[in-house]
């Protein structure tokens, strides 16, 4: 099962705190697949939530109550949204070496941005957060500039869009797609029943 | 608690089959508030799901699986969407006389459109569905043309938009808004805990 997201999505952050436990409960491993939402929004005609009249106000309120409901630390970050190119490239580099550690980095990046107000669009911040997880910051900075990981992120984003991903979090279980943290209960139903 | 919807919304149809039982479980009465989604879409910059690239295909697939999950009869109607002016006016007229019977009519209209392929944009169809529920068809047709119920529907739609309603189903519990049938579980949590 695949977890598509952009590190700048509050709903994806909330989902990231539960998705692995949910997968494990059903003997599954969840692959984290960071991508860039902007191209997906362009392809699907979507607009960023906070730029939408009415829906933007609803979303801001909803993020606050979702953090309380899920008991996940959260503060609306400033700036928001941010470019997550550096964060995603660092993730994909590390994933190629150590997927477990890559998820640990991913969780730390989400937490840094949404709970600690750290601007993860800055490569130095990404490297510092990595260093706190025991990852060599020089290697992180190298990966961010490496054409291999630039291409990987572009390829992942294009592949996600080709698979129908238009928002985040987007969770695909055996080809079945579920959009939104408010649908984790449906993902659980699907895993438990093997579809319906 | 208030249940805002347009009779042409599949997600509202699914919600309509559960919302009263959910309210009753917590000793509440749910008010049905039909409105017109088009003006709400215009106000919020929303676009009809089926007209959106990627999200439209997701929604069509999701309606089918939602009907199976909730065990609610459903077939994607043709034409879709339809004007629900006649259906909503008839509802509001009857609601002023007998709110219980009005919900019965509402359920029959939803069922007629989404389970029986009846075109509820046609006033004769609305009257026929009403007659099957024991409602005088001449009175239904009279209400559809009555300036009082025209004004009521306009007023309800404007009021809903002013309250932040940008889609359907939109459920408001003690001032707290929840958008989407996939959030009925959150509505239940809110009712049970009195907020969080």
Condensed to tens digits (0 to 9), the pLDDT of residues B171-192 reads 999 999 999 999 999 999 999 9
Q: Which of A161, A166, A167 to mutate to test the interface with B (most CBs of B within 10 A)?
A: A166
pLDDT for position A87: 98
Render chain A in DSSP notation, one character per residue: -EEEE-TT-HHHHHHHTTHHHHHHHTT--PEEEE--HHHHHHHHT---GGGSTTHHHHHHHHHHHHHHHHT------SS-S---HHHHHHHHHHHHH-HHHHHHHHHHHHHHHHHS---TTSHHHHHHHHHHTT--HHHHHHHHH-HHHHHHHHHHHHHHHHTT--SSSEEEETTEEEESGGGHHHHHHHHHHT--
Nearest Cβ partner for B53 among A44, A57, A65: A44
- Give mean pLDDT, residues A168-190: 97
- What b/e sequence results for A75-114 when a residue is b if at least 16 CB atoms lie within 10 Å of its CB, and e otherwise? eebeeebbbbbbbbbbbbbbbeeeeeebbbbbbbbbbbbb
Distance (Å) of CA B196 to CA A12, B186, B192: 21, 11, 10
CB contact under 8 A, A44 and B57: no
Please state the ipTM of this predicted complex. 0.95
Nearest Cβ partner for B164 among A54, A179, A186: A54
pLDDT for position A101: 98
- Give mean pLDDT, residues A35-64: 94
Touching check for A42 and chain B: CB below 8 Å?
no
Touching check for A148 and chain B: CB below 8 Å?
no
pLDDT for position A18: 98
Touching check for A11 and chain B: CB below 8 Å?
no
Looking at domain A2-193, which of 3.40.50.261, 3.40.30.10, 3.20.20.70, 1.10.490.10 is its CATH number? Answer: 3.40.30.10
pLDDT for position A155: 98
Measured distance CA(B188)–CA(B176) in Å, rounded: 12
User: For residue B55, is the peptide bond before it cis, meaning its omega torsion is within 30 degrees of 0?
Assistant: no
pLDDT for position A148: 98
| Tens digit of each residue's pLDDT (9 = 90 or more) over A141-150 | 999 999 999 9
How many other CB atoms are found less than 10 A from the CB of residue B27? 7
Nearest CA distance, A100 vs chain B (angstrom): 31
Touching check for B25 and chain A: CB below 8 Å?
no
CB A26 within 8 A of CB A191: yes
């Amino acid at each position: 099962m695949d977890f598509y997201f952009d590190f700048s999505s509050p709903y994806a952050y909330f989902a990231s705190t539960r998705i692995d436990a949910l997968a494990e409960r059903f003997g599954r491993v969840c692959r984290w697949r960071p991508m860039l939402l902007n191209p997906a929004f362009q392809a699907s005609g979507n607009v960023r939530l906070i730029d939408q009249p009415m829906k933007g106000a609803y979303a801001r309120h909803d993020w606050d109550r979702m953090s309380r409901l899920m008991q996940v630390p959260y503060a609306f970050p400033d700036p928001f949204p941010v470019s997550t190119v550096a964060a995603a490239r660092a993730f994909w580099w590390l994933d190629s070496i150590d997927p477990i550690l890559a998820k640990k980095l991913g969780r730390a990046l989400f937490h840094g941005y949404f709970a600690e107000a750290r601007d993860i669009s800055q490569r130095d911040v990404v490297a510092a957060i990595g260093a706190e997880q025991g990852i060599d910051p020089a290697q992180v900075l190298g990966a961010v500039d490496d054409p291999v990981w630039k291409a990987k992120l572009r390829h992942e984003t294009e592949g996600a869009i080709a698979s129908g991903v238009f928002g985040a979090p987007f969770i695909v279980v055996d080809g079945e797609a579920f959009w939104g943290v408010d649908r984790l209960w449906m993902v659980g139903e699907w895993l438990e029943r093997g579809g319906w």
